[in-house]
Structures are given as structure tokens and as C-alpha cells.
Amino acid sequence: MILSKRMLPILGVVGIAALSACGTSTTTPSSSGGGGSSLASCQGSITVATDLPLTGGDATDGPPVEKAAHLAVTQANANKVLGGCTLKYVSKDDATVLKNGHDPAQGAANFTALSSDQSVVGVVGPFNSSVAVAEIPVASQNHLAMISPANTNPGLTQVGTNPDVNTTSLYPGAKTYFRVIGTDITQGQILSYVATKELNFTKAYSIDDQETYGKGLSTFFQKYFAADGGTIVGTASLPGTTKDFHTQVADAQSKGAQVIFFGGTSGNGCGILRSQMPASLPELGGDGCQDNKFISDAGSNALGSQVTSAPDASKLTTATQFYTDFKSTYNEDGTESPYTPYGFDAMNALIQAIKAVIVANHDQPPSDSQTFRDAVVAQLHQISYSGATGTVAFDANGDTTHAGFSLYTINGTKWAPKELLTADATGKVTVAG
């Protein structure tokens, strides 16, 4: 209560900024490219950043997203989206040797550093929900907008959805957190739909990796699997260092499980589990499993796994230009991780919000960094931007308004999208294509 009272004046400022921004943003078309001539007088340098796991065990997750976000900044500068103003790009790595991958403590330290740099107005990241839990309070206190291209844990934005996350206490200041991916509530509903309706399973065994993301996804899968008429025959919660799953596989088999669900990441054993399962028993997982590490870990046993992940954008006409540009810039397909174009869209949405703020401020960046940051957050709440993956827009919680997940199976030695599924507010899942 005390906190929110102190926040009232700040919220007032945000509101005013939002209103004024709202008026002008309708006048500028919300598409990329083409610097408005009205911004020619804009002067100065504005910093945007990414915070992603780039090294260690997560070295397959972060880098493509980071490259896509970097590409968005490079293109915006080349196209003079901000007219005379330039964007400066900073990349932060939230992976540490100690954790052999994403490290919440490192993420928080990165956000503290970014917050204290007055030129930084927004960050794309993080990748992992556990890191987000550590970073959101820092961003919130420092009015810094953050857009995650990959966080799926609903507890980050929706109060009461995850017993392990106290959502209210994540935001000591303003709500500055956004994400362009659906939550695990939706993902759980879709996974349950796949398990019960498409694969006709009635008995499932669930294992999670004890982390914010994995435990949460596992909980939602169990909840909706039971709601859809299935039975969870057993569960296990194992640390990410686990290398031996034989005990749990034997347990699952003895209980007649038709599928083992893994809530967690490849770094925490999704593929290792697969390698220790009989080929005849399928594995189902979420977006944490959809990477090359899974395939290499699972070895000869990789086939027979199905996972959901970010909606596949590689076939969308709106994404064609992005993939062409990505390939010509980095000489990589950019299709290895479905999250890649979301990094691009998240950064572009941030740039569009910055642009709207500058326009509303008489073609100049606000001189006070806190005012600038607050205005960017307000603009993001209003934004409707047509990106590579579709329309980017956020609801009052900061969640994307276009929640869906694609189902992927292994085709040869690569993940291939099978179908796109969406869930509506009531939890009804439909196959969208």
C-alpha cells in the first residue's frame, strides 16, 4: 500500500505522457522503414539493449535472438527511423560459467548496470523466466521497459497463476514488462490438447527441472491434462544437474504411462531423458526442449518426441524479408530457433515506441531520462505494430494479445513445425494451421 501511494505521482506522469503520445502515434503509420522527415531535426543518441544467455549451456538459445534484435537496430539506423537521432546498441550476456548458462543473479546485475546508464530506454530480454523473476523488479524500479522474446511463465504478469512467483512483489514500481510470446497457461492447454485429442493418450507421467519455467509448465500441463480427462500417473521434480532418469522412466512404465512430459529446458535434461527412454515411449515437451541440443542429446532416440514452441514464422509472408535480411547479414538461416524473429519484432516494437515518444516530444528525445523511459513504457502499452511474426500488441498485463504455439516434431535431424495451435480465453484450443 505504502509503495503504491508513493507511486501515484509517477503513474500520473506516465498517464499524461501516454495520452499525449497516443494522440500523435495515430498520425504516424506504425510500419517499419521510412524515417519521417519530421524527425530530421532530432538530435542525440538513444541506447537500446538486449539481455540474453549467450554462452555456456544456453549458447544455442540466446545468440540467434540477439542477432535478430541487433539486426533490427542496424536496419532502423540505416533507414533513419528516428531521423537525425541514432540508436546505440548494447548486448548483455546473462549466462555465467558458474551456472553453465542463464544465471538470474547475472541478469539482475546486467539490469542494474543498464538502468544506471541514463541513455538506455529499453531492453529486449530475457530468455528464461527464472532470469525474468530477478530482472523485473530492477526494471520496474528504474522505469525501464523490457520486452521478452521468450518468457512463457504466466506468473511474471498474472497474479495468482503461479504459486512459486509472487507476481505483485515483482513490481515495486511501474509495470514495465512486456512479452511477445504466449504464456504457459496457453502452452499447457495446447500441450494437453495435443496429448489427449491428437495423440489420444489417457495416462501421462510428468517430470520437471525444478526451475520457474519448467515447474510452471509442468503444473499447467498436469492441470489441463486432468481437465481433459487424462490421468497423471506420476510426477518427479529433478534438479537440472540430473543425468540419470532411469529410475523415473522405470516408474513411469510400471504405472502404464503412455507418454512422459518434460517441463524444462534441454540444458536441464530434456534430451538426456529422451536418450534413456525406450523408443516406443514418446516424450512431450514445451518450448524449452525445441533446440539442437535436444537432438544431439537424445542421439539415436530423438525421433518420437513432440514439443510445442513459439509459433513458426518461417512460412509467413510477413517474415520473408526478415529471413532474407538475416541470411545476408549473418549467413545463417535463422530458422534453427523459432524465437529468432520474435527477437527482431520485440526490438522493432521498442524502436517504434521510442519513435512515438520523440514525435510526441516535438521531434526531440525527452531530456529527462526518467520521463523518456516512462513514456516508452506508456507507448508500448498502446502499440500495435505489424512485424515479421504478425501484429505485436500487448494487453494491460504486458502479455501479447496473439497467443499461440506451434507443435514441432523431429524430421530427420531437425525440428519441423507440424501445426499452429491457439487457445481462446476459455481455454478452447483450435488448430489454426
Partner 1 sequence: MSDESPAAADGMLVDQRGLTSRSHRGAASSPAVVATSTVLRQLYSLVQRYFPQILVAGIALSILFVYTTGGLTLMGEQIKNALVLGAIYALVAIGYTMVYGIIELINFAHGDVFALSSFYALIIATSFGGFVNSLATGSGIGLLVALVILFVTTMAAAGFTGMAIERVAYRRLRDAPRLAPLITAIGVSFLLEGFMLVKFGADNVPTKNDLWITGTALTLGKVSIAWTDLFVFATAVALMFTLGAFVRITTLGKAMRATAQDRNASLLCGINVNRTISATFFIGSALAAAGGIVYSLNYHSIQWSLGYRLGIIAFTAAVLGGIGNIVGAGIGGFVIGIIYVFGGQLAGGEWSDSLIFAILVIILTFRPTGLFGVDVTTRA
Cβ pair 187, 153 in contact under 8 A: no
CB of 266 to partner 1, least distance (A): 8
CA distance 333 to 189: 31
Q: Does 23 bind partner 1 (CB under 8 A)?
A: no
What mask of x and - would describe binding to partner 1 in positions 227 to 256, judged by CB under 8 A?
---------xxxx-xxxx-xxx-xx-xxx-
**Under rule CB under 8 A, which residues in 78-137 are in contact with partner 1?**
97, 100-101
**Under rule CB under 8 A, which residues in 31-70 are in contact with partner 1?**
55-57, 59-60
CA distance 114 to 376: 16
Which residue in 37, 116, 200, 300 binds partner 1 (CB under 8 A)?
Answer: 300
What mask of x and - would describe binding to partner 1 in positions 364 to 403, judged by CB under 8 A?
----------------------------------------
Q: Does 297 bind partner 1 (CB under 8 A)?
A: yes
Nearer to partner 1 by C-beta: 34 or 239?
Answer: 239
Cβ pair 53, 96 in contact under 8 A: no
Size of the site for partner 1 (CB under 8 A): 37
Nearer to partner 1 by C-beta: 293 or 373?
Answer: 293
**Under rule CB under 8 A, which residues in 301-320 are in contact with partner 1?**
301
CB of 281 to partner 1, least distance (A): 13
CA distance 311 to 231: 28
What mask of x and - would describe binding to partner 1 in positions 326 to 355, judged by CB under 8 A?
------------------------------
CA distance 223 to 231: 10
C-alpha dihedral, 193 to 199 to 200 to 205, nearest 10°: -80
| Nearest alpha-carbon partner for 400 in 177, 218, 193, 220 | 177
Cβ pair 54, 65 in contact under 8 A: no
| Nearest alpha-carbon partner for 42 in 16, 80, 78 | 80
Helices 340-360/2-25 angle, 10° precision: 80
- Cis upstream peptide for 126 (omega within 30°): yes
Q: Does 296 bind partner 1 (CB under 8 A)?
A: yes
**Under rule CB under 8 A, which residues in 254-293 are in contact with partner 1?**
254-255, 271-272, 275-276, 293
CA distance 78 to 70: 12
Q: Which residues lie near partner 1 (CB under 8 A)?
A: 55-57, 59-60, 97, 100-101, 207, 210, 236-239, 241-244, 246-248, 250-251, 253-255, 271-272, 275-276, 293, 296-301
